[in-house]
Amino acid sequence: MRRRISLRPGEVYNNAKLENSRTAINRTGVFKHLTEKDFAIYPVKEGLLRIVFWLQPRKLKFDV
C-alpha cells in the first residue's frame, strides 16, 4: 500500500500528491471509498507533519 502513497518521508508537503494518493488508494478497490473525512494531517513539530489515513476494508461479495 505504501507504493500507492505519493508523499514520501522528508518531502515538502504537496496537496496534489495527497489527493493523488487518496485517488490511488480508492482505485485499488480493497478499501471503502476514502473521502476528505478519512484522513487527517497533524503537525508534529515545526516543519514536520503526520498524515494518517483511516482505511476500512471493503466487504467482498462472493457468489456461492
**Three-state DSSP string of 43-55:** EEECCEEEEEECC
* Predicted structure pTM score: 0.79
10 Å CB burial of residue 18 (0-12, 13-18, 19+) is middle
Written as nine digits, the cell of 47 is 516543519
List the one residue out of 12, 36, 13, 16 whose CA is nearest residue 26. Answer: 36
pLDDT tens for residues 32-50?
Answer: 999 999 999 999 998 899 9
Decide if pLDDT at 14 tops 70: yes
* Domain residue limits, the chain: 2-53
What is the mean pLDDT of the segment spanning 40-64? 87
Element containing residue 17 per DSSP (H, E) = helix 15-28
